[in-house]
């Protein structure tokens, strides 16, 4: 890779929030198509909502602390 070859317009910054199931499923299927992971997508296994919620709470707290 060389500097300047990346399309910066494709980078998206988003507020932390729940991972939409369709996005998680798309990512899973894409990685499976390349042989990076095996098995079928199961939303209850692949997305741990408790861990996700805790991470978002920590990110919000950090942003509030930095903003002060």
Instruction: Give the residue-averaged pLDDT of 44-55.
Output: 86
Confidence of residue 37 (pLDDT cuts 50, 70, 90): very high
What's the pLDDT score for residue 27?
94
Q: Which two tokens stand for residue 40?
A: 């079928």
Q: What is the pLDDT of residue 1?
A: 55
> Which residue ranges make up each domain of the chain?
8-67
pLDDT at 28: 94
Q: Quick one: which of 23, 18, 15 has its CA closest to 48?
A: 18
Cα 31 to Cα 25: distance, rounded to the nearest angstrom: 10
């Amino acid at each position: 890779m060389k500097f300047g070859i990346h399309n910066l317009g494709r980078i998206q910054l988003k507020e932390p929030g729940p991972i939409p199931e369709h996005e998680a499923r798309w990512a899973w299927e894409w990685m499976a198509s390349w042989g990076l992971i095996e098995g079928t997508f199961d939303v209850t296994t692949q997305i741990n909502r408790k861990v996700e919620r805790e991470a978002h709470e920590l990110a919000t707290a950090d942003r509030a602390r930095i903003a002060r």
